[in-house]
Copies of this chain bind each other. A is one copy, B any other.
Amino acid sequence: MEIRQLRTLIALVESQFNMSRAAEKLNLVQSALSQQLNRLENELGAKLFIRKGKRLKSLTTVGEEVFKQATIVLSAINNIHSVGKEYTERDFGVLNIGTTHMQARYILPPVIKLFSQLYPDVELQIHQGTPQQLVQLAMNYEVDFSICTEALAGNSQFTLIPCYQWNRSLIVPPEHPLADKKNISLEDLCDYPIVTYVAGFTGSKRVLETFKQSKLQPHVVLSAADSDIIKSYVREQMGIGIIASLAYDRKNDSDLKCRDLGELFPWEITRIAYPKDKYLRKYQQVFIQLLLKQVSKHGSESGYFCLPEEKVMT
């Protein structure tokens, strides 16, 4: 058995069982893949794919299991390469971070600045996506780690490092009735059109759940993927905005009134996630440390809170 063959198997799955595309990915011609797959299947004595005529349709039971193990093999092989690079090009390389718009915009900038000074020769690549995509990216080793809030539940294959917790705030124009109301309740929020995050993003799910549990019907007029857009629409008087507290910037958003809603909604925990079996290079560890240090230093003044030093490995 050859590592090449396992790479091929994985590429085939990743390209929806299309050999030509998989071959392109691997910089080979189709026929090479065809031969590799044959050799592998012959060696194992079992077909790995269910075929319709000549075309691959899906994995067989054997294929599923072999695929799983092949993933483990390639992860370990990757780790070996990382170990090698760690000793030849200690401070050179690429750091791939999967993250949402919110982190990239409000949390990461100072961390990245510091990191770039420490490691000027490490290229930083920020991969944005939905929480679901971020989980996928981390699982497929396409990023070194993902920073995300949702879609991590029950994923026992990740190392999870809790980073900080946060909640929402209401933003309204200063002349709005809610700008100075004493206690703001869920019911109050339902009296006005709401602008908040689209489903699946930035904890929007749990906002809606909270309303539902109180049998309330919020009137969401507009939902956007990121906080800046929500702010714009609040400025345009489209409605009241519910955003993550940390997305409110005292300087630049002084034309909006911000009211903390920490009592009304459940707290969210943002975590760093990477596969348990992944080997972390030094500069990758440093980045994580910098991030943790940043949130513990400047968290409370910016609407979020670092968590006790506890590494939750789920």
Contacts and interface: CB of A to CB of B under 8 A. Distances in A.
A282 interface: no
Given A1-B3, A69-B279, A72-B277, A46 B80 contact: no
B46 A84 contact: yes
A75 B54 CA distance: 32
Interface string A72-100: 11001101110111111000000000000
B87 A46 contact: yes
Chain B CB within 10 Å, residue with most, of A1, A44, A88: A44
A44 to B, nearest CB: 3
Contacts of A65: 79, 83, 279
Contacts of A279: 65, 69
Question: Is chain A's binding surface mostly helix, strand, loop or mixed?
Answer: helix
Contacts of A76: 69-70, 72-73, 76
Contacts of A87: 44-46, 62
Contact of A84 (B45, B72, B84): B45
A43 interface: yes
A2 interface: yes
A66 interface: yes
Contact of A73 (B46, B66, B77, B83): B77
| Number of copies of this kind of chain in the complex | 2
Interface in A20-55: 43-46
A80 B45 contact: no
A44 B80 contact: yes
A43 B1 CA distance: 20
Contacts of A277: 72
Contacts of A2: 2-3
17 contacts: A1-B3, A1-B77, A1-B80, A2-B2, A44-B81, A44-B83, A44-B84, A45-B87, A46-B88, A62-B86, A69-B76, A69-B279, A72-B73, A73-B73, A73-B76, A73-B80, A76-B76
Given A62-B86, A69-B76, A72-B277, 7 more contacts: A1-B3, A1-B81, A45-B84, A45-B88, A62-B87, A69-B79, A72-B73
